[in-house]
Amino acid sequence: TTAAALEAFTINFTITNLPYNSDLEKPDSARFKSAQHVMNTLLDRLLKDSTIGPDFHGCETVSFRYELPGSQRAETRVDAVCTYRKEPSAAPLDRVGLYHQVSNKTGGITQLGPYSLDKDSLYVNG
């Protein structure tokens, strides 16, 4: 038998109450590291409590980007790469199902921990 492999998927969303700051672009800045730690913890908690939970390995926030929505207020786009253990015989990641679980666990894509989310911003890519 072939051993399970780690497979990655991306999760992206926009936070409306984390004002963008150029330090968020710099992975070596204290602001980036602090925001990354909080985001990784929140995503890990959320996904450990999903259907991929038993196989979930972790999320790494890889970037924060400036996003200027219609409101003309700077918002912060979060890009994270998450991994899970996939058995060779397992079906591909159900990204639609995972999207709906994340939506349900964030109050319809409105709240993640202390952060308010843009309800139309969630994207899960398998």
Q: What is the CATH number of the domain that holds 48?
A: 3.30.70.960
* 57-67 pLDDT tens trace: 999 999 999 87
Q: What per-residue string of b and e applies to 16-33 under the rule 16 or more CB within 10 Å gives b?
A: bebebbeebeeeeeeebe
State the total domains in the chain.
Answer: 1
Has residue 102 got a pLDDT over 70?
A: yes
Domain coverage including residue 34: 5-125
**109 closest CA partner among 94, 98, 97, 121:** 121
Instruction: Give the tokens for residue 58.
Output: 């972790």
Verdict on whether the full-model pTM lies above 0.85: yes
Determine the pLDDT at residue 71.
58
All residues at 6 or more sequence positions from 28 whose CB lies less than 8 Å from its CB, including other chains: none
